[in-house]
Amino acid sequence: MTKPGEAKLSYLFQKARWGRFELKNRVKYGACCVSNYNTRDGHITPRELARTKVIAETGCGMITNQGAYPDPRGEGKAYFRQVAIFDDKFLPQFETIARTIHDNGGVAIQQILHAGRYGGIDLGYCVQPSIVPQTLPHFRSPREITRDQIRQTIREHAEAAARAVRAGFDGTEVTSFMGYLLANFNSRFTNQRTDEYGGSIENRGRFMRELIDAIKQATPDNPLILRLNGAELMDRWGGNSEDECFELMRQAAGCGVDMISVTVGWQEAPDSSIGRDIPPGHWNRLAARAKKLLPEVPIAFGVRLPDPVMANECIGNGEFDFWEVCRPLLADPQMLRKAAEDRLDEVRRCVGSLNCLSRLFRDLPYTCTMNPALGHEIEPEYAITPAAVRKRIMVIGAGPAGMEFAVTAAQRGHDVTVFEKSERIGGMLTGYAANDLANRADLQSVISYYEAMARKLNIGLRLGTTVDPRLMREMLHDFDVAVVATGTVLHRAALPPTEDGRKILDGLDVALGREAVNGTVAVLGGGKVGLTIAESLASRGHPVTIIEGQKRLAGDVMPSFKWRHSAWVEELKIASVTGARMSKVTAEGVHVVDGKGEKRIIGADTVIAASPRISNHGLVNEFEWMVDELHVCGDAVLPRGLGPSIHDAYRLGCRI
């Protein structure tokens, strides 16, 4: 029987014929880079198999396993714990993955990932078509690949594809996404060869065409997918134009490739492609162009397209054939099932913070801001299980930490009531989202999710209620557990003294619209809160100067988003003084000694303190003798941010 959401999203959930396969829907799980959950020598771990089981159960019609490097030298290896597929010794665990996908009704695709310019992580060098210096210092020194090595690399890809098919996969995929080896040959930037593999776009595409031919010969009965750039975003470095990208797609189609996945961007591209500063649907035009160019070739697409409703419309409009989705399913593996049941308000939306990539670029296993269980699927401690004893729990504070704990505890069967002094849930995130220059809807969706889950789980919400010892005494013995999730407060004792009647505004009050801002502005603190306030005010016409004690701005910003704040600061002409020590605030402005030891006065009509903020955990001491169990979570433990707060609260909710 058709579920209500399936009827609403009929294009997304319709069955699809792809060669000899019938897919149960038009959703392709994208390989989403690698997990870094595996061993340094390329073997798959139980941790990875547990994650794969969750992926297989997402309900996607096609599931692409993460990219495996195909060469025994490790030149294609991009990440410390990337899986390998260059030898039959790796087959047993690939067999397990393929079987798990099939058991859940999915078509299984194995991605082959040779990182090229970004590879050789254990070697100290990388291979690419030409010796083009790295623009990012953490990548390895380049060596030019020879003709013989090209032939060997193509042969290794074909052998890897045949090996994947022997393991039970239905087909294979080769990716150029993020600027890997295939992209290196295709691009004018990294391919400056003068032989038959370089020069004209016909020659630059030769490696790709030979690769397709070799894999098709090695696996004649199994489909091959190519992930190709619709836009490189490498204009600054002399990369391909969009027209050249689409000519390469035409070449791939002429070689008989069975599907093209349209991607955007390289790792070193100076412009964003998948972060939350890119509006959802921004790149859809590239998929539509590919479909118009190649109407007979199935097109998969999902770059910065986290919404199944939009994906359904795009498929219905003929813009592409399959919604390729990964990060939204990392954030909420049940998204498709919720969509099918018309429960989209209960979806944990991917907020595009790119915590996943930030950790990979630090050689760590990836995690997700919104999904605390990602990567811990094998650990019983991270599972939401029925509570042994049902408890009455009060949560003090309705920010992300308090609400995440409340939802998790309620799902386990506890009776939960949340107390919040303001008139709505969300805490500091409400103000942060309201001033964010990126896609505000992403951050606001976090609050909407908690509102929906509070209704679903009958979580009590006592808004506009300040919890103090007096109120606690009135409720004595009404609750078995109290959880303090009161976030942070401005550490006013650490602020410079004021004279001449000057006032330093709390950044949170400004963000929430409780305080008016006039004229020129000095923002004390250049972390993510200070940057967000400064950017918001500058975008509204206020001249802004950020004053930061550290040597650099954005010290607490996600590594993959630091550049975005730097770009906004430059675009909005926000001044900054770093390495600064503030002595006082007077009628003239903020008196500082800058990083060079020079005394300065930063003139400002309004002075706003975004930091320092300290944990607001005063209730812990006051409630110690008033309740059976007392816990603290989120920023009330230590000021950190959205991801750590959600993870901390989830773990606490799982064990209460």
Query: Contact, 649 vs 633, CB < 8 A?
Result: yes
Same domain, 435 and 510: no
Same domain, 520 and 460: no
| Residue 613 to residues 419, 530, 584, 609, Cα–Cα distance (Å) | 22, 11, 19, 9
Q: For residues 510 and 110, give the distance between their C-alpha atoms in angstroms, rounded to a whole number.
A: 50
Decide if 325 is inside a domain.
no
Q: Which of 91, 36, 72, 230 is nearest to 153 (CA)?
A: 72
| Backbone φ, ψ for residue 260 (5° rounding) | -120, 125
Decide if 9 is inside a domain.
no
The predicted structure's pLDDT at residue 1: 82
Q: Hey, is 186 helix, strand or coil?
A: helix
Decide if 440 is inside a domain.
yes
Q: Supply the range of the domain harboring residue 407.
A: 384-487+616-655
Residues in contact with 327: Cβ distance below 8 Å, sequence separation at least 6, in sequence order: 32, 274, 306, 350, 352, 356, 368
Decide if 552 is inside a domain.
yes
Residues in contact with 527: Cβ distance below 8 Å, sequence separation at least 6, in sequence order: 548, 553, 554, 555, 556, 557, 610, 611
The predicted structure's pLDDT at residue 382: 97
Same domain, 180 and 287: yes
Same domain, 165 and 190: yes
Decide if 526 is inside a domain.
yes
Q: Hey, is 68 helix, strand or coil?
A: strand
For residue range 377-403, what is the model confidence (pLDDT) as tens digits?
999 999 999 999 999 999 999 999 999
Query: Contact, 216 vs 174, CB < 8 A?
Result: no
Residues in contact with 640: Cβ distance below 8 Å, sequence separation at least 6, in sequence order: none
> To which residue do tokens 């098919």 refer?
165
Query: Contact, 503 vs 587, CB < 8 A?
Result: no
Whichever domain contains 55, its CATH number is 3.20.20.70
The predicted structure's pLDDT at residue 637: 97
> What would the two tokens of residue 46 be?
């139980």
Q: What is the distance between the terminal CA atoms of the chain, rounded to a whole angstrom?
A: 39
470 pairs with which residues across the strands? none
Q: For residues 616 and 460, give the distance between their C-alpha atoms in angstroms, rounded to a whole number.
A: 23
Q: Hey, is 205 helix, strand or coil?
A: coil
E strand or H helix that includes residue 616: none
Q: Which of 419, 387, 400 is nearest to 351 (CA)?
A: 400
> What would the two tokens of residue 232 be?
């490189």
The predicted structure's pLDDT at residue 555: 93
Domain count, the chain: 3
Same domain, 495 and 482: no
Same domain, 22 and 138: yes
Q: Which of 173, 171, 291 is nearest to 226 (CA)?
A: 173
629 pairs with which residues across the strands? 481
pTM for the model: 0.95
Same domain, 202 and 249: yes
Same domain, 120 and 152: yes
Same domain, 437 and 570: no
Same domain, 454 and 599: no
Decide if 635 is inside a domain.
yes
Whichever domain contains 429, its CATH number is 3.40.50.720
For residue range 336-379, what is the model confidence (pLDDT) as tens digits?
999 999 999 999 999 988 888 788 888 899 999 999 999 999 99
Decide if 356 is inside a domain.
no
Same domain, 190 and 74: yes
Q: Hey, is 606 helix, strand or coil?
A: strand
The predicted structure's pLDDT at residue 634: 97
Whichever domain contains 608, its CATH number is 3.50.50.60
420 pairs with which residues across the strands? 463
Decide if 373 is inside a domain.
no
The predicted structure's pLDDT at residue 572: 98
The residue out of 304, 320, 344 marking a domain boundary is 304
The predicted structure's pLDDT at residue 272: 87
Q: For residues 575 and 591, give the distance between their C-alpha atoms in angstroms, rounded to a whole number.
A: 15
The residue out of 304, 326, 361 marking a domain boundary is 304
Same domain, 205 and 76: yes
Give every residue of the chain whose pLDDT is below 70, as ranges: none
> What would the two tokens of residue 361 be?
């670029």
